[in-house]
Amino acid sequence: MKNIFQKIKYTPSKTAMNVLIKGNIIAPGEAPQKMFERVVNTIFGIEASMGINASETEKIKKLFAQYMSKKLFTPGTPTLTNAGRDGYEKSALSSCAIIPTDLRNKVKSKKIIKAYYRQNMGSGFDLSPYKNPIELLLWLNNLSVSETKNGQYDRYIGNMANLHISHPSIRGFIDLKRNHLLPHFNCSIVVNDNFMNAVIKKETYQLADGQIVKAQNLLYKISESAWSIGDPSIINLDRMNKDNPIKKILPYISAPPCAEMGLSNGETCQFIYIDISKFCTVKGINYKLLKSVVRIIVRALDNSVEYGINRYPSEISSSVARLKRKIGIAVSGIADTLLYYKLPYSSIKARSLARDVVSYVNYISKCTSVELAEKRGSCEAMKFKEKNEYYYDYLSKRYNFSTHTVSKKEWRRLNDKIKKTGLLRNILTITQPPAARVSLLMDCSFGIEPIFGFPTEINQFPKSIVTFIKKNYKGNIKNVLQKVRKEGTFKNTKLSSSAKECLKTATELSPISHIEMVVALAGSNGVIDETASKTVNLPKTASIEAVYEIFLLAHSMGLKNISIYRDGSYLNQPYKLSR
């Protein structure tokens, strides 16, 4: 076999290189090209053990490498860190996990938690079953702090802790991060429709120990904390489980640190992110190229699952991976894409375009998963006909609508094929995690988010913004950027009103604009399998009442989770969102 890397080179930008180094994604002294080669070789090296023809593997591997070198996509940072790296031979390639442990036994828990941390996974903990969730959370955070101090980890230890709204300790849990520094934890309150409806109707709500509380007061308390420190967020696991096709086998109990999906006990997931802006053409999105990319990504992610199955610290995670083989394809570069087509983030056309793209990615990924199952076999969950909703028209019920890229009939045909043949390699295929570092690696805007803010140096403005101004302004571009650099907004520039509308930052957009985008993608009629990580960014002047209303609005519009961040509530935030 020829060495494919003689002609395929991975060259990160200055910003991307900084992420690779500061994030310990590349080993000390390791060249980016070396990282690139070890990642590609590891992902496709596993195919030999699956009995796949070497020439077929080499052909697909080459195309994967070409696409990745052009920054059309990137695997998640744990995959980039772990794959093929010295010292990580026994590590999986997963980004997140619900660590399977009983926290009542701290000695055993400490051992298994550290084992997952060493594999660079973000971790989730459901504290609802425990009588002492606050004490456990403090213990878990102290463990993360002490493990960070020993310097043995190449990735920041990030965790999610969730507690059900009915837990007797809910008030103290809500206030915890306001009273204690918990740098390694995001916190979420697990709400349900009963609680939220009680809030709307101004009714009381009964906690698990029989306490009767005013539902409005509890949500207001959550809002106060979110306004103050950006935590907690709220997640609705009942709604997430509604879209879980095997909830009768393995229900979701928690979520990763940013709540982009539901996860069962011991479950893990691996991600690859696609930069949609690189598929933009004057004639529209290049769906032919996107199809090719998605098909290769599904195969690569399935390979990653296979690689990790025997490398997890617990057999529980291995068993769940065999059962589900769940993968996570995500999109990034949405703000850049909207600038290319001069679409304001808050516009119907912007949401329609995003919805069309993600719907297509979803559909092609499912079709590819069926094709993989024909050659590699289905995930084990497809053996359970009575408890698996794919045998009860899951896809045609879940996607009972058409977009401009995928019709309801196409979903129905795919549904019927899976139902008839039992062929499906991956139980779910698409999600939307946060995408900050991976987006920097691809030199694109973050995930499905709008423009966050603007840099303080002219030469640091993103190419998409500079190109947009060149297309839409005939004056001195440098003067415009100087003004924006100082003021943090385009609203006082001489650009047209339509151009300025496209350049609104996260805090200049109304909360409804944020929510409508995530509803289009991950609401009750969304085009993402489960949910999306989405933060509503608010200006520093926003009130607690505004946060409260956003939580209610998100619930009423069918969302499964939502986070709030008020500018300045975290001292070390990466960007100034307002000036």
Q: Reduce the secondary structure of 21-75 to three states and give it as a string.
A: HHCCCCCCCCCHHHHHHHHHHHHHHHHHHHCCCHHHHHHHHHHHHHHHHCCCEEE
pLDDT at 571: 55
pLDDT at 572: 52
Q: SS in 3 state form for 75-131?
A: ECHHHHHHCCCCCCCCCCCCCEEECCCCCCCHHHHHHHHHHHHCCCCEEEEECCCCC
Mean pLDDT of 269-274: 96
Mean pLDDT of 414-420: 98
Residues β-bridged to residue 563: 535
Q: What angle do CA 244, 262, 350 make, to 5 degrees?
A: 90
- Quick: pLDDT tens for 231-249: 999 999 999 999 999 999 9
DSSP code for 486: H
pLDDT at 181: 84
Percent of the chain scoring above 70 in pLDDT: 98
In total, the chain counts a number of residues equal to 579
Task: In whole angstroms, give the CA distance from residue 547 to residue 553.
Answer: 10
pLDDT at 534: 87
Q: What is the mean pLDDT of the chain?
A: 95
Encoded amino acid at 355, one letter: R
pLDDT at 151: 74
pLDDT at 347: 98
Q: What are phi and psi of 262, to 5 degrees?
A: -85, 150
Residues β-bridged to residue 538: 566
In the predicted structure, residue 570 carries a pLDDT above the cut 80: no
Q: SS in 3 state form for 183-231?
A: CCEEEEEECCHHHHHHHHCCCEEECCCCCEEEHHHHHHHHHHHHHHHCC
pLDDT at 156: 86
- Quick: pLDDT tens for 150-175: 877 888 899 999 999 999 999 999 99
In the predicted structure, residue 79 carries a pLDDT above the cut 90: yes
In the predicted structure, residue 110 carries a pLDDT above the cut 60: yes
- Quick: pLDDT tens for 188-237: 999 999 999 999 999 999 999 999 999 999 999 999 999 999 999 999 99
pLDDT at 180: 85
Widest CA span in the chain: 71
Encoded amino acid at 315, one letter: E
Higher local confidence (pLDDT), 541 or 577 = 541
Q: How confident is the model at residue 276 (pLDDT cuts 50, 70, 90)?
A: very high
Do residues 432 and 332 make contact, with C-beta atoms less than 8 angstroms apart?
Answer: no
HSE at residue 105, side-chain half, CA atoms within 13 A, is 7
In the predicted structure, residue 577 carries a pLDDT above the cut 50: no
Of 306, 364, 370, 331, residue with least CA distance to 44: 306
- Quick: pLDDT tens for 324-351: 999 999 999 999 999 999 999 999 999 9
In the predicted structure, residue 266 carries a pLDDT above the cut 50: yes
Mean pLDDT of 111-119: 95
pLDDT at 285: 98
Mean pLDDT of 410-435: 97
What are 327's two structure tokens? 């993968």
pLDDT at 578: 43
